[in-house]
Amino acid sequence: MKELFDRMGPTYATTNVVSSFGFSEFWRVACVSIANIKPDTVVCDLMAGSGECWRYIPKDVAEIISIDFSDFMNERQVERSKKVNRSIDIRCENATATSLPDASVDHVISAFGLKTLSQSAISDLTRELHRILKPGGTFSLLEISLPKNPVIRLPYQWYLCSAIPLIGKLMLGDIECYRMLGKYTTEFENCTALIPLFEKAGLEVEYGNHFFGCATSLSGHKKGEP
């Protein structure tokens, strides 16, 4: 999986805009805003890519920690942290088993990272979220999804599975990476099936629909008083 993202890295920004119908930035804004980030807190961006969400994190937080296992994405993060002039703790690690201490994070955000995780990796992720979050700490995870309404679903699925690989081939010379994107999104479907895993890990979780279900989110908090 890491190899897929290292390979996709150079064209990721373009693909992301195209695969989300240009909605990716709106959905990142939504993902960050749902986390209800407070001043002077520690924010962890899981599966951070090249740091696409950072610009939406309020300037008055105490610390941003970024986790991504792709070397390529981490290199991009270093460039971006200089560009946005923010000091970011960049860690090249697996999001399901980080080196962060227990109960050390106030808010966790993650945009577009869920679809490539297996069921067991998502279980590990929920346990990791529970471990690193402080009591009362919030999380917000969002992913591109397939709408339930067939009028939107069928053209969107065609677009993801057939049109995007073609665009990938024509514009970027790579068809396989983009075929994988459609495959993962189709298999992922939406965030509904993940709710029990979050609950099992002891997290209070809420489901969110964005633009007729073209993206869905899971957000909530770790039980307990802050």
Ligand X SMILES: C[S@@+](CC[C@H](N)C(=O)[O-])C[C@H]1O[C@@H](n2cnc3c(N)ncnc32)[C@H](O)[C@@H]1O
In the sheet that holds 88-91, the strands lie side by side as 88-91, 63-67, 42-46, 105-111, 133-144, 215-222, 203-210
Q: Beta strands of 18-127 (E only): which ranges?
A: 42-46, 63-67, 88-91, 105-111
Tell me how far apart the alpha carbons of residues 142 and 127 are, in angstroms, rounded to a whole number.
18
Residue 22 vs 224, nearer CB to ligand X:
22
Which x/- pattern over 103-142 shows residues binding ligand X (rule: CB under 6 A)? Answer: --------xxx--x--------------------------
According to the binding rule CB under 6 A, does residue 216 interact with ligand X? Answer: no
Q: Which of 18, 19, 20, 28 binds ligand X (CB under 6 A)?
A: 28
Which x/- pattern over 38-77 shows residues binding ligand X (rule: CB under 6 A)? Answer: ---------xxx--xx-------------xxxx--x----
Tell me how far apart the alpha carbons of residues 164 and 79 are, in angstroms, rounded to a whole number.
28
Residue 44 vs 133, nearer CB to ligand X:
44
Best CA proximity match to 129, nearest among 117, 138, 116 = 138
Binding residues for ligand X, rule: CB under 6 A, are 1, 5, 16, 28, 47-49, 52-53, 67-70, 73, 94-96, 111-113, 116
